[in-house]
Amino acid sequence: MRLLFGSCFTLLIAAALGLGATWLTLTRGVAFGALTIGAWTAWPKSGSVDIDPYARAIVARNGELPIGMGDGVAFYARSDDVGNKFDGRCTFTISGTTPPARYWTVTLYNPEGQLVGNTVDRHDFTSEEIVRDSDGRFTITVAPLARPGNWLPSGGTEQFVLVWRLYDTPIGVATRTTKVGPMPAITRKGCS
């Protein structure tokens, strides 16, 4: 009797633990080999055959095609430099310079990876269309309402994700060190 009770209890706990851990790791986006610079994190190995089982499961579950190593690297940000979560009602600035790459793009998505609708149909900037100051630096303002300069509308969505993609870059392919150069800084400027 005790044996039966014990094994039932064990199996229940095991199932709850195992499935719970799987659900947590997949929804939180846990994967190995992360490369973090400031608020930005990339998983360069996810674009190669060395992709780890967790990243593989995440990719299969959400249906995306990860950017291939040799094509580029994608950096994700979900909060600013000091850890304030991205909120569509707040204003954030992204400024500075980028690591070396032939081209880059920065795109705003909702947490599910869909573009966020807005009145000016602007969802991204490329390295070619961004307005820079005289020494090559730039500032992008992410805000719900129109701003001068490089305005990336957040459409007032509750949460958003920024993805910075570097194309034709040595990062992830050749670098083993963390000295890959600075990523743009993200600062919260206030909330409406």
Partner 1 sequence: MIRALLWILAAILLGGIVHLSTVLALPQAARQDAYSRLAPLTPINTMAPLAGPTAQNAVMPFMDPAFAGAVCRYDLSGGMLKLIAPVSQAYTSVTFYTRKSVAYYAINDRAAGRRTIELDLMTPEQHAELPEEEDVTAADRLIIESPGTTGLIVLRALAPEPGLMTMARQALAGATCGIQPVH
105 within 8 A of 174, measured Cβ to Cβ: no
Query: What residue type is assigned to position 148 of the chain?
Result: P
185 within 8 A of 42, measured Cβ to Cβ: no
Contact positions with partner 1 (CB under 8 A) in 93-152: 102-103, 105, 107, 109, 112-118, 123-124, 126-129
Position among 27, 36, 48, 149 found at the interface with partner 1 (CB under 8 A)? 48
For position 168 contacting partner 1 by CB under 8 A, the verdict is: yes
Q: Which is nearer to partner 1, 29 or 38 (CB)?
A: 29
Strand positions, DSSP E, the chain: 35-37, 40-42, 72-77, 90-96, 103-109, 124-126, 138-143, 150-153, 161-167, 185-191
For position 32 contacting partner 1 by CB under 8 A, the verdict is: no
Please count the other Cβ atoms lying within 10 Å of the Cβ belonging to residue 189: 12
Position among 27, 32, 36, 53 found at the interface with partner 1 (CB under 8 A)? 53
Residues near partner 1 (CB under 8 A): 6, 9-11, 13-19, 21-22, 25-26, 46-49, 51, 53-54, 56-57, 59-72, 74, 102-103, 105, 107, 109, 112-118, 123-124, 126-129, 163, 165, 167-168
